[in-house]
Amino acid sequence: MSLFLITSGYAAIQWAFHRPAKTFYGVIMGGMLVRFVIIGICLVVVRRMENVHIYGFVGAVMASYILLQILEVKFIQAELRSRKLHKGK
């Protein structure tokens, strides 16, 4: 699941970088929402199928989601810096 979320987010950002700002931000915010919903659905499914400690499980999933969001923001910043450098030349 994580690999799918990471690669789909990366592909969406790459595609959105060459679009207008409104489209870019729509892809970013929509992508976060879609991934959050997918994670929520997976949490419900796992909770119903397995007997897991719910607070620990949800905490671990949310921590990994936040980490992935931080990495995504760092990637976006790096891409924007790269674009500025290429435009300046």
pLDDT digits 0-9 by tens, 27-72: 888 988 888 898 889 888 888 888 888 888 888 888 888 888 788 8
pLDDT value at 20 more than 70: yes
**Greatest mean pLDDT among 7-11, 22-26, 85-89:** 22-26
pLDDT value at 11 more than 70: yes
Q: Closest by alpha carbon to 68, among 22, 19, 31?
A: 31
Q: What is the pTM of this model?
A: 0.64
pLDDT (average), residues 1-9: 76
In the structure, what pLDDT confidence band is assigned to residue 86 with cuts at 50, 70 and 90? low
Q: What is the DSSP string of 20-60?
A: -HHHHHHHHHHHHHHHHHHHHHHHHHHHHHS---HHHHHHH
